[in-house]
Structure 1
Amino acid sequence: MSLVEQETPQKYEASYNLKYFVLSNPTPSSAEVYRKFNVTFTFSIVNREGINHLFWNNITSISEEKSKRLSSRVGITKSDDEELMMFKWNTIGNDYVFWQDGHIYYSESIMSAKPVQISSKGPNWEHGIMGFIHNNRIGSKDYDVGPAVYWSVKGQKLAFLSREKTKMKSVYMTSYSKNEKYPILVEVQYSKTHEKQLPTAVINIWDKKTRVLKQMNVQLRNNTAFHYLHGVKWIVMKGEELLVATWANRLFNHIYLTICSHRAGICKLVSISKRR
């Protein structure tokens, strides 16, 4: 294995104008024992010149070269040892959000000294990270914990999901890693069929200009019944950025279409589809 393969981060993602790239590396705690459902990363941001040197040039010392071209670390204190689970560039601009210690933070630019905490609520809530059950509905098809944050089309609003951890029961699954001789037992929060208490996804929308966060009042026909959040997509209607959210019951034979407005603070039910 070459030096580049050894030291180059696993993933990189470009900002909208390709001016900056965020590089991700699994943290030592994730590398020692691979936990599929709880992998944390360190994120660093380099400019376009830096990414070209890292990936295309024959560099004798990548760590030294990267330190010369590093623009910023990502995190509350921007240190080397902060553990994060999510990073998301804005759809327009070089600002971004990230997940750390259970909350979502916003940075206006890579040079921002202190990020702004967006999410609220207490320690029993998880923000911006999908659970296992929602990964199979609107997340990735892999069995990892995916991001649940969505920048709007114009980049002026951010939607994210929240869930109450205390209402979720757990199952244990066996994880196999090529780096480990023995299987690892992993605890996953997953409510089985007919469970009385099921996790509920809460939709929050944050306005970047006003810094106002609102929890959406989802107006379904039967608000007492449990529904999965099946999909989300930002649209623009009459100049207003709106979030389209679809919901489904456990059997997936009832689909509900809602349109969410940050200004109104509600997700209005506009359509119901039923299948036999």
Structure 2
Amino acid sequence: MPKVILTFPEGKHKVLTMSYDDGRTADRKLVEIFNKYGIKGTFHLNSGLLGSDDRIPEHEIARLYEGHEIAAHTVTHPTIARSPKEQLVEELFEDRKNLERLAGYTVRGLSYPNGSFNRMIKEILPYLGIEYSRTVHSTGNFSMPDDFFEWNPTCHHNRDLMNVADTFVKLHKKQYLFMMYVWGHSYEFDNDNNWDIIEKFSEFIGKRDDIWYATNIEIIDYLKGFQNLKFSAGSEFVYNPSATSVWLSVDNRIIEVKGGHQVNLKSDFN
């Protein structure tokens, strides 16, 4: 039986993803920096607050965040663990509908407003079309999450970001998958007068051949693509019913399993 393990696209074993909340106008500068260095971000927006209090207006949403991910953050940013179920459902579902109208695609991600959530909320989310949600509890490590409805980031950008990035870049053991997940609010760079932090970080970590740069939902979709692969009982071959490719390491050979294709995995079949 061949030894088969998942890799990220093109055989990579590291992924970087960024997550920023509230949709403030400082997102314009942050998106510009990300685009410059080939970094992808997920931007969690409150649809009921757009255009007010230094927030990006509705007409700018689709163009500004093109190439990144627009995700939910509730309509009005309440502390949802203290909200009645009826308001919780409305805040989440209406935010999805409003953002989808602006983005032009299905919104499937969330970050918990004020970091507020509980077990009941996690259980409700799949019924509202939400496939993951980010917390504010930084782990300091690069492990893949076990529970995507309690997706803990690696660090906030104000927490020793360059040293964390340096450690991440030096990771080399390909028997593991590593994820660096940075979160924050773009307006914090204005408040703290430290835009140089994210600029230096992006220049340092961007455009590397061994890192996959992905939005939150791209990571979710890729992992689900792997879970949906149909392996033979002896792992001699695999069929990919999904539309997109999944990459595998098979006896230390990187193999692309294209969407809609079946691929032989035993070396003497290739």
Richer in strand (by share) = 1
TM-score, L = length of structure 2: 0.26
If asked which structure has higher relative contact order (CA below 8 Å, sep 6+), I would say 2
TM-score, L = length of structure 1: 0.25
Richer in helix (by share) = 2
